[in-house]
Amino acid sequence: MKVRRLTTVGAALAVTVLIGGTAASAVPNGAQFRPPADSLRALAQPTGLRIGTAVIPFDLDTDGYVQLVGDQFSVVTPGNEMKWQVVEPTQGSYDWTAADRLVSFAQAHGQLVRGHTLTWHNQLPNWLTAGVADGSISNDQLKSLLHKHIVDEMTHFKGKIWQWDVANEFFTDSNPSQINPNDFWVSHLGAGILGDVFRWAHAADPKALLFYNDYNIAGEDGTNAKSDAVYAWVKSQLAAGVPINGIGDQGHLDTQYGYPYSLQSNLQRFANLHLKVAITEADVRTFVTDAASQVPTDHLAEFAQPYEFEQMLKACLAVQACISFTFWGFGDADSWVPGFFKGEGYATIYDVNLNPKPVIQVLQQELRLAARAAPVR
């Protein structure tokens, strides 16, 4: 995990905020914070949509970044600071420092928090994976440790987290898609563990909104296979009484593939199951000259990127159950994309020098129009 870089694979201000039927924590001092009138968060306020970003410690240590985090966004997601590897690096010894700092920042700036993520195959503590590998942690013990982790983390943040990504990236990219039998958790504990983690999470904090979060589940893969599989699974889980409140579509797009026009209809069909939906990790990458400057190799990408961001935002705005739209970081210098997709970058809404890109004006205009036409969530 890089120190600065994000790792992945987002209503009116008041002392107590009620959104999506779930009470968020009191925000001391937050009621006094007033974002700029032309900020994304202020422009989205008439529709009730929360505009968010992923945040890493560097963002709160750097003046230009911290100003943008507070001014532009009304919900924040920790990029890494609530993942198991970070909060319990040594078994039985918790470190909430970085996560607590972000929660305090959010409270001071009238923001809500998306907790990310409780159950994932990646960024697990070394003591856990090593113990499973050498047999010193049995499957029964592994299940107990996962239960304890979820209860401990949710109890620590109880009342302070609006949405939790309870389970993250459990489905295959194949066609047809399915729950991945080789996933770390599924291979040791079986597919039923997905239902268990939602039950445990609900018991730990009944007021938090509990999300399943994944990529390519709104048709981004062009086949809808993964979306179909997640839809069938969540429908069956709801019928069995599993307390799932929402579906998070990560929204990682690439200009070379074009915009997935099935995104809105997929969000809507999840919403038709009486679920909340959210865009949780939005970015739009393209080919760039180099990872340092991240200048697009094709000037047309400078038009395609704003267009795809705009269409993704419009899809969310059109679905009343879409309660938040979160960018996976906001500056290219700290984007995860160049380190994961060779030759690609330019994925966020500010460039490597933190200058706003053309996409900012496009999103501002879309939110102004939505204030008069989009359904209020």
Of 20, 46, 102, 76, the residue nearest 327 (C-alpha): 76
Tokens of 227: 């979306």
CA atoms within 13 A on the CB side of 138: 2
Catalytic residues: 169, 281
Tokens of 188: 């040791």
Of 169, 195, 149, the residue nearest 281 (C-alpha): 169
For the 18-373 domain, the top CATH level (class) is alpha beta
35-63: pLDDT as tens digits: 999 999 999 999 999 999 999 999 999 99
Q: Packing angle between helix 139-156 and helix 193-204, nearest 10 degrees?
A: 30
Beta strand pairing call for 209-214 and 18-19: unpaired
152-172: pLDDT as tens digits: 999 999 999 999 999 999 999
- Mean pLDDT score of the chain: 93
Residue 261 · residue 226 · CB < 8 Å? no
343-369: pLDDT as tens digits: 999 999 999 999 999 999 999 999 999
Is 70 exceeded by the pLDDT of residue 22? no
pLDDT bracket for residue 1 (50, 70, 90): very low
Of 262, 280, 261, the residue nearest 215 (C-alpha): 280
What are the boundaries of each domain within the chain?
18-373
pLDDT bracket for residue 32 (50, 70, 90): confident
Q: Find the farthest-apart pair of alpha carbons in the chain and give their distance in angstroms, rounded.
A: 60
Residue 320 · residue 271 · CB < 8 Å? yes
198-254: pLDDT as tens digits: 999 999 999 999 999 999 999 998 889 999 999 999 999 999 999 999 999 999 999
Residue 16 · residue 23 · CB < 8 Å? yes
Q: Would you call 263 helix, strand, or coil by DSSP?
A: helix
Average pLDDT over residues 180-197: 98
